[in-house]
Amino acid sequence: MPQLRQNPVTGRWVAIATERAKRPTSFTRAAGVAVPAASTCPFCYGNESMTPPEVMAYRPTGTAENTEGWEVRVVPNLYPAFGPANGEPTVATVGMYQTMNGAGVHEVIVSSPLHAADISELPTEKVRRIVDMYIDRYNANRNNPSVQYLLLINNHGKEAGASLEHPHSQLFGIPLVPSEVEDELAGIQRYRNEQGRCVYCDVNANEEKDGERIIAKNEWFLTFAPFASRTPFEASIVPRWHAPRFEEMNPDQREAFANALHDLLTRFRVGLNDPPLNFFIHTAPCHADGNVDYHWHLELLPKLAIAAGFELGSGVMINVATPESAAEFLRNVDLSGESQPIAVPSGHH
Amino acid sequence: MPQLRQNPVTGRWVAIATERAKRPTSFTRAAGVAVPAASTCPFCYGNESMTPPEVMAYRPTGTAENTEGWEVRVVPNLYPAFGPANGEPTVATVGMYQTMNGAGVHEVIVSSPLHAADISELPTEKVRRIVDMYIDRYNANRNNPSVQYLLLINNHGKEAGASLEHPHSQLFGIPLVPSEVEDELAGIQRYRNEQGRCVYCDVNANEEKDGERIIAKNEWFLTFAPFASRTPFEASIVPRWHAPRFEEMNPDQREAFANALHDLLTRFRVGLNDPPLNFFIHTAPCHADGNVDYHWHLELLPKLAIAAGFELGSGVMINVATPESAAEFLRNVDLSGESQPIAVPSGHH
C-alpha cells in the first residue's frame, strides 16, 4: 500500500509507492560516458595547462605546480557559477525583486590522475587523500567573507550532471545559507525544543536498533537508507558522534569516513551496475558560531527517477522502492571480488 | 555576471549563470517517443476496456460508457500513487517517524482521442473542453474528506516523466497540503503583512509595466517568464484578477485560459522543437475557507536541465538562461504557420 513518510528533520513528506516501480532494468543502467583520449582531458597528466592554474595539489617534492606528478589536484572551475570575479556579495533591489551577485568560489577537486577510475575504484588510502583535500579546501575557504556556505558535491555519470568523465568533486562557496540547510537547521532546533536531543543522533540510535535500513557501519559512521528516502537507493553516511562540522574530523574519523564512502560507492558500482548518482556533504554554515546545533552528514541520491509534474508541483517525491528493500539489497552486495583495487600512480615517477 | 535571484513568494533563491549554458542543441531536442500502434494504446478509441472503467467522459448521446465516441475521458490511474483503496488518511507513528497511508485519488484525463496530437495541436475549442474537464474533476473531488489538496499536472515527453505517449493530464488528490503550496501560502501571508497587497497581484503589475519578461497576454491572463526562473524557459500563466481557485473560473475566464495555455504550449512546440516539459496548476487547498488568501496559477517547467549535486544539496537551482532572453525568444516565435490546427473527431461518428 502506498505510504507517505515524513522527513523528521525538515518535516517534508515523501510518498513510497512501489506499485509504480519501473522495470528493473531502469535500476541498472550504467553511468557510462565515452572515454575521450587522454590528450583531450583537462584533468589527465600532461594537460595541466588546459585548466586555470591550480590553487592546491598534493604533489611530491620536486614536481612543479601545474605539471604532472600530483595525487589530488584543485583548480578553479572554468565556468564558475560563483566566483571572486563577481565581487563582494551585495543584495540589490530590482523593482519588487531582490538579487545578489554570484560572489563566492567554485573549485574542482580532481580525484586522481586516473581518467577512468572513480572513487570506489581507488585504494582506500587514496580516498583518504581526497577526504584530506576536501577538508583542506573547506578550511582554506571558510573564512572568506563573501562565502556564507560551503557545499561539497560529486556528480557521477552524465545523467547525474557530470560534464567531464574524469572523476572530480566540486566545492561551491556561496553567499547565502541555502534553503536545504536552513530547513535542516530549523528542524534540528524544533526537535531540540520538543525532545531535548539532536534529531540526527536520535535517527542514528533508532536505525542502529531497528537495523533494517542499515547498509554498513564502522567505528565512527553509520550508512543507511533514510526512512523517508526520496529516490530508490537513497543513502546517508552520518557520524555516530554529535559534531557540527565535517571539516573538524580528527585523523581516525577521516580514515573511517574515507572507508565508509569507498564502501558505499563500491556497493553502488558492483550491486547496481554503476548508476549515475550525486552526493553532497552538509556541514554547518561557515560563520556559524562554535556551539551551532548541527550534525554534519553525507547524502547520496542515485539518478534513478525523474522529478515530473507531481514532484515539481508538490515538493513530494514519489519513490517506487522502499528504503528497507534498498538497504537489504545494498547490505548484501557481494564485495568479495573487490579485494584488489587497481594500481594508482604514487605521485613519484 | 552570475546573479542570485530571490523568489518573492517563497523566499527561495536561484542562480542565473549563463556562462554555464550547454550547447544550444540541448535546448531543442524533441520530446519524441515512438508512437505505438493504436491497438496497444489504452487511451485510443476502441481500447476503452484496457483502462479501469471511466469515471467521467464528454460523449454524445447514444454512445455507451467505456466505448469510443468520447471527446475527453477520465479514468482512474492503473498504478495509483494515491487511491481510495488505501482507506482513510491516518497518521501513524513508527518509532520516531510519522507515516500516513496513501489515501486520495489519482485520475488520468485523456486529452482527446488523437494519439499523436498534444494540447497545442488541438483546436482551441477542444482545449476549452479539456479545461472544462479539469474543473469538473476538481469539483467532483474537492469535498472528498480524504483529500486535502488537488494537484493537476501534465507530463509531456518521456524525459519529463510521461510513460504513455497519448496526451493526458493527471489529477492527484492527496491527504496533505504539499510543501510547495504551504510555502506559497506562507509567502503570500508574509507579503500581505508587510505590504498590504497580494504578492502575485504585485508581480503581475510589475511584469506588465516592465514588459521584458512577458511572453503573451489576453484579457484575463498574463504569461511570463518568472524573474527567478529555475530552469531555462520556465513560464507562468497567472490570472490578472485576484482569485484563489482555478476551479471557480467563469465561462469567459475558462475560454481565455484555454487560449493562453494553447498559445504557450504552441510557442514551446514551434519555437523550441517540442521539448519535454511539465506543467501543473496551483489552486487553494480544497478545504480552505472561502476567503483564503491565495492567487491560483499555472507553472510550466521544460525539462532542459539536470538537477545535479549542487541543486539537490542546496535547493538553489542554477539556471543557464536569463528569463529575459527566454521571454524574448518565446514572445517572438512565429505562429503564422499555426492557423490550421488538425481535425479532431467531433464525438459524433
- Closest Cα partner for A330 from A176, A213, A205? A213
CA dist list (Å): A217 to A130, A259, B32: 20, 10, 45
User: Are A41 and B142 within 8 A, CB to CB?
Assistant: no
Residue of B22, B147, B310 best to disrupt the A interface, most CBs of A under 10 A: B310
Assigned C-alpha cell, A87: 565581487
The residues pairing with A280 across neighbouring beta strands, listed in sequence order, are: A153, A299
Q: Give CATH superfamily name and number for B23-334.
A: HIT-like (3.30.428.10)
Contacts of A299 in chain B (CB under 8 A): 312-313
* Distant-in-sequence, close-in-space partners of A270: CB < 8 Å, separation ≥ 6: A333, A334, A335, A337, A338
Dump pLDDT digits (tens) for B171-213.
Answer: 999 999 999 999 999 999 999 999 999 999 999 999 999 999 9
Asked if the Cβ–Cβ distance from A316 to B174 is below 8 Å, we say yes
* CB–CB contact A97 B160 (8 Å): no
Task: Out of A27-36, A98-107, B100-109, B120-129, pick the least confident.
Answer: A27-36
Report whether B152 contacts B31 (CB < 8 A): no
Q: Residue B37: its pLDDT value, please?
A: 54
Q: Report the Cα–Cα distance between both ends of chain A, in Å, rounded.
A: 59
List CB contacts (< 8 A) between A226 and chain B. none
DSSP B161-206: T-SS-S-EEEEEEESS--HHHHHHHHHHHHHHHHHSS-HHHHHHHH
Over the stretch B52-65, which tens digit does the pLDDT of each residue have? Answer: 999 999 999 999 99
Choosing among A314, A317, A318, A320, which should be mutated to test the B contact, i.e. which has the most B CBs within 10 A?
A: A314
Q: Looking at residues B317-336, what average pLDDT do you find?
A: 92
Q: What is the rounded distance in angstroms from the CA atom of residue A44 to the CA atom of residue A345?
A: 12
* Separation CA B235–CA B59 (nearest Å): 33
Contact B308 A172 (CB under 8 A): no
Averaged pLDDT, groups of 10, chain A, 349 residues long:
66 63 36 57 94 96 95 92 82 86 92 95 97 98 94 94 91 93 93 94 95 97 94 96 97 98 97 95 94 96 91 90 93 85 54
Name the residue among B97, B312, B314 with its Cβ closest to that of A8. Answer: B97
Residue A211 has what pLDDT? Answer: 96
Residues 6+ apart with CB under 8 A from A250: none
Q: pLDDT band at residue B251, thresholds of 50, 70 and 90?
A: very high
CB A185 within 8 A of CB A134: no
First to last CA, chain B: 59
Chain A CB contacts of B170 under 8 Å are 309-310
- B325 Cβ contact list (under 8 Å, min separation 6): none
Distance CA B163, CA B159 (A): 9
- pLDDT for residue B91: 85
CB contact under 8 A, A316 and B83: no
**What was the pLDDT predicted at A88?**
84
Identify the CA nearest to B40 among candidates B118, B109, B115: B115
- Concatenating the DSSP letter of every residue in B96-163 gives TEEEEE--SEEEEEE--S-SS--GGGS-HHHHHHHHHHHHHHHHHHTT-TT-SEEEEEEEESGGGT-S
User: In three state form, how does the secondary structure of A44-73 look?
Assistant: CCCCHHHCCCCCEEECCCCCCCCCCCCCEE
Structure confidence at residue A37 (pLDDT): 54
Residue B4 C-alpha from the chain's centroid: 26
> Which residue of A4, A168, A181, A304 to mutate against B (max B Cβ within 10 Å)?
A4
Query: Using the beta-carbon criterion (under 8 Å), do A308 and B153 form an inter-chain contact?
Result: yes
Q: Of A81, A160, A206, which has the smallest distance from its Cβ to B95's Cβ? A: A206
CA distance B50 to chain A (A): 18
B310 closest CB neighbour out of A97, A153, A318: A153
Task: Tell which wins on pLDDT, A9 or B163.
Answer: B163
Q: Hey, are the CB atoms on B179 and A96 less than 8 Å from each other?
A: no
A260 closest CA partner among A244, A275, A281: A281
The pLDDT of residue A58 is 97
Q: Look at strands B97-101 and B56-58 and give their pairing.
A: unpaired
Q: Compute the Cα dihedral for B81, B86, B90, B96 and give only its sign.
A: negative
Q: How far apart are the C-alpha atoms of A68 and A110, rounded to whole Å?
A: 13
Task: Kindly determine whether residue B161 and residue A308, on different chains, have CB atoms separated by under 8 Å.
Answer: yes
Mutation target for B interface from A179, A188, A227: give the one with most B CBs within 10 A: A179
Share of chain B above pLDDT 90, in %: 68
Q: A120: which strand partners?
A: none
pLDDT at B344: 63
Contact of B277 with B303, CB cutoff 8 Å: yes
* Chains A, B: CB pairs < 8 Å: 226
Query: Angle at the Cα of A322 (from B102 to B99), degrees rounded to 5?
Result: 40
Rg (C-alpha) for chain A, rounded Å, is 20
Class of residue A218 by CB neighbours under 10 A (exposed 0-12, middle 13-18, buried 19+): middle
Q: What is the largest CA-CA distance in chain B?
A: 64
DSSP assignments along A186-242, one per residue: HHHHHHHHHHSS-HHHHHHHHHHHH-TTEEEE-SSEEEE--TT-SSTT-EEEEESS-
Closest chain A residue to the Cα of B95, Cα to Cα: A206
A76, A141 contact by CB (below 8 A): no
- The ipTM, to two decimals, is 0.91
- How far is it, in rounded angstroms, from Cα A68 to Cα B206? 55
pLDDT at B102: 83
Q: What percent of the residues of chain B are helix, what percent strand, and what percent coil, each to the nearest 5?
A: 30, 20, 45
Q: Which chain B residues have a beta carbon less than 8 Å from that of A5?
A: 97-99
Retrieve residue B178's grid coordinates: 504539499
Cβ contact (<8 Å) for A310 and B81?
yes
Q: How far apart are CA A14 and CA A316, in angstroms?
A: 5
The count of other CB atoms within 10 Å of the CB of residue B331 is: 18
Reported confidence tier of residue B306, pLDDT bands at 50, 70, 90: confident
Strand partners, A173: A105, A150
pTM of the model: 0.91
Query: Which residues in chain B have their CB less than 8 angstroms from residue A196's CB?
Result: none
Nearest in space to B265 (alpha carbons), one of B182, B177, B341: B341
What is the band of B29 on the pLDDT scale with cuts at 50, 70, 90?
A: very low
Question: What average pLDDT does the structure give for chain B?
Answer: 88
Chain A hits for B8, Cβ within 8 Å? 96-98
Q: Which residue has the cell 474543473?
A: B135
Query: Given A278, A306, A310, which is nearest B309 (Cβ)?
Result: A278
Contacts of B280 (CB under 8 A, 6+ apart): A309, A310, A312, A313, B151, B152, B153, B154, B298, B299
Between B335 and A39, whose confidence is greater? B335
Output the CA angle A17-A18-A21, nearest 5 degrees. Answer: 115
Domain over A15-85+101-334 is classified CATH 3.40.190.10: no
Beta-carbon count within 10 A of A194 CB: 9
Q: What is the DSSP letter of A155?
A: E
Chain A positions touching B312 (Cβ under 8 A) are 153, 180, 278, 280, 299, 301
